[in-house]
């Protein structure tokens, strides 16, 4: 088709969407890509074979709509999470972003407010505004931690309808105490979402917010298969909450929103949870190596319970980012002054990043 293409500003776009920019991280065919917190370890071959077999079986009935309630998958998530959860307390969607979008569609929207402590996951305000709600950013301490009393005070002052608590936090990696979650819940009448996308990378003895669910009907704990399960390309996120919350999410989901192929792949991966999670300890070891080595190079890494490290002490993040890029290493400038963020890769990828960073320092 020919003709002149319209400009975005010429279209009858919603007023509250004007001036917004879509979420996106740089994508480039570099040898070492450590910028979007993917699990850099491939799915084990035997697990991949079982997933492929499950998808092949699902394809035989792909002419029919999938199970709208994705019953088997919800049972699989309940078994994986434990804590006495049942499938009636589980919801899932195409990535945790869609899960959070469902929450906002059900509990936020025009005239309502969502709240989070910045800096935090950049999709929270984007999803909030896209559903017509207002976003309010609270503040953290200089080391990006959150104090329970201060959290309660900030939340009470705003009285938001939806509260996002990223635990551990993205993009800083900061742990979040359960006392903060309890304080946030008590200070609010809204829905409290604890985003545990990176929980599997936390120390094994640390308790999940799942332990706080009993008796708290407004508490939601979201997870993803993208990180610990190396399933970023499959797009599967899920949450645990009171069954009434799950009923609310049914009101806003699209019909048959999880394909039969997605359900089959995710269910197969869950059957191999121990094998999939064996990668987590290797990644955590590389994360700790990054923390130690960046500190030795004169940077200031922040404590991290995730699969990435935010490090400060970068004189000019844009220049350092570009010099690493020129050496074939892609990391992330998250917009925090004098900081950059890097994903923990395989041992070889981590070595390549650390060597490149050391050479960048010597060139400065």
Confidence of residue 361 (pLDDT cuts 50, 70, 90): confident
Q: What is the pLDDT of residue 22?
A: 81
Q: How high does pLDDT run on average in the chain? A: 95
Q: What is the pLDDT of residue 272?
A: 95
Q: With a cut of 80, say whether residue 214 has pLDDT above it.
A: yes
**Residue 194's beta-bridge partner residues?**
165, 221
Reduced to 3 states, what is the DSSP secondary structure of residue 244? helix
Euclidean distance between CA atoms 206 and 194, whole angstroms: 15
Q: What is the pLDDT of residue 5?
A: 76
Percent of the chain with pLDDT over 90: 89
CATH class of this structure's domain 45-271:
alpha beta
Label residues 64-73 b or e (16+ Cβ within 10 Å = b).
eebeeebeeb
Q: With a cut of 60, say whether residue 1 has pLDDT above it.
A: no
Domain boundaries, the chain: 25-41+275-363, 45-271
The domain defined by 25-41+275-363 folds into 3.90.1150
pLDDT digit string, tens, across residues 7-22: 888 889 888 888 878 8
Q: What is the pLDDT of residue 15?
A: 86
Confidence of residue 2 (pLDDT cuts 50, 70, 90): low
pLDDT digit string, tens, across residues 179-192: 999 999 999 999 99
Mean pLDDT of 221-242: 96
Q: What is the pLDDT of residue 350?
A: 98
Confidence of residue 28 (pLDDT cuts 50, 70, 90): confident
38 touches 346 (CB < 8 A): no
**DSSP structure string for 294-326:** HHHTT-EEPP-SSSEEEEE--S-HHHHHHHHHH
Mean pLDDT of 256-276: 96
Other C-beta atoms closer than 10 Å to the C-beta of 318 total 10
Q: With a cut of 80, say whether residue 143 has pLDDT above it.
A: yes
Q: What is the pLDDT of residue 18?
A: 85
Six token digits for residue 185: 């819940």
């Amino acid at each position: 088709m020919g003709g002149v293409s319209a400009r975005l500003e010429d279209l009858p776009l919603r007023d509250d969407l004007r001036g917004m920019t879509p979420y996106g991280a740089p994508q480039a065919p570099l040898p070492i890509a450590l910028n979007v917190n993917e699990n850099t370890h491939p799915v084990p071959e035997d697990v991949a074979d079982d997933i492929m077999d499950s998808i092949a079986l699902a394809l035989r009935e792909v002419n029919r709509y999938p199970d709208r309630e994705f019953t088997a998958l919800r049972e699989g998530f309940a078994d994986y999470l434990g804590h006495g959860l049942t499938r009636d307390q589980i919801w899932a969607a195409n990535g945790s972003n869609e899960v959070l979008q469902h929450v906002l569609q059900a509990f936020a929207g025009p005239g309502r407010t969502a709240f989070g402590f910045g800096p935090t996951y950049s999709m929270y305000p984007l999803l909030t505004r896209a559903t017509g709600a207002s976003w309010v950013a609270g503040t953290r301490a200089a080391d990006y931690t959150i104090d329970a009393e201060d959290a309660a005070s900030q939340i009470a002052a705003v009285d938001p309808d939806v509260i996002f608590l990223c635990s551990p936090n993205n993009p800083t990696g900061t742990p979040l105490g359960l006392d903060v979650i309890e304080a946030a819940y008590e200070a609010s009448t809204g829905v409290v979402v604890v985003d545990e996308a990176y929980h599997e990378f936390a120390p094994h003895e640390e308790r999940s917010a799942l332990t706080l669910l009993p008796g708290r009907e407004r508490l939601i704990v979201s997870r993803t298969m993208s990180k610990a399960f190396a399933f970023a390309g499959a797009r599967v996120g899920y949450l645990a909450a009171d069954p009434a919350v799950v009923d609310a999410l049914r009101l806003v989901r699209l019909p048959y929103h999880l394909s039969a192929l997605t359900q089959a792949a995710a269910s197969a991966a869950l059957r191999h949870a121990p094998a999939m999670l064996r990668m987590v300890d290797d990644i955590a070891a590389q994360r700790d190596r990054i923390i130690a080595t960046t500190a030795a190079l004169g940077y200031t890494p922040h404590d991290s319970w995730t699969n990435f490290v935010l490090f400060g002490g970068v004189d000019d993040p844009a220049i350092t980012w570009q010099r690493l890029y020129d050496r074939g290493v892609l990391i992330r400038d998250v917009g925090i002054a004098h900081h950059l963020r890097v994903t923990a890769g395989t041992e070889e990828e981590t070595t390549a990043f650390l060597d490149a960073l050391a050479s960048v320092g010597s060139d400065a």
